[in-house]
A = this chain, B = another copy of it.
């Protein structure tokens, strides 16, 4: 992770469809160098993919909510996680600090639809209770770039 690596990431983050050759021109290095850096960044796991970024909003799911789930003593996280994984509206889930707690990000078509999603989530014995928090507005959309840039 040196300055060039950072510049490569910055450049491809800003203009993803740019191509290796054009990138090498912009950065003033040889094509093979950019190629090699990208390969290394992928190998080291820093770059995990190039997939299209999808907007849940544009897909018809404008409501985002965060659920905190209290897992019943004795019930494994695994079985709850497997249950959550089967619900498409669950976009993300973590186990968190706090006795047997999990945390999930869900989306829904509307506030009314959110009820349906929550009901579906709760349809599992391992979950004791849950708290729902609805996201009203996105102040900072997901980003990693500033972190890369800060690795000066």
Contact = CB atoms under 8 A, between A and B. Distances in A.
Contacts of A16: 49-52
Interface stretch (A28-36, A85-93, A122-130): A85-93
Contacts of A143: 91-92
A75 interface: no
A71 to B, nearest CB: 11
Contacts of A89: 147
Interface residues on A, range: 35 or more
A73 interface: no
Contacts of A95: 135-137, 139
A100 B60 CA distance: 27
Contact of A48 (B49, B54, B146): B54
Interface string A135-152: 111111111111111110
A140 B84 contact: yes
The 4 A-B residue pairs with the shortest CB-CB distance in the complex, in nearest-first order: A88-B146, A16-B50, A81-B139, A93-B140
29 contacts: A9-B52, A41-B52, A44-B58, A46-B54, A47-B53, A47-B54, A47-B55, A48-B58, A50-B50, A50-B52, A50-B53, A51-B53, A54-B148, A59-B144, A59-B151, A66-B96, A66-B103, A81-B139, A88-B149, A90-B140, A91-B142, A91-B144, A93-B138, A95-B137, A96-B133, A97-B133, A97-B136, A102-B139, A107-B147
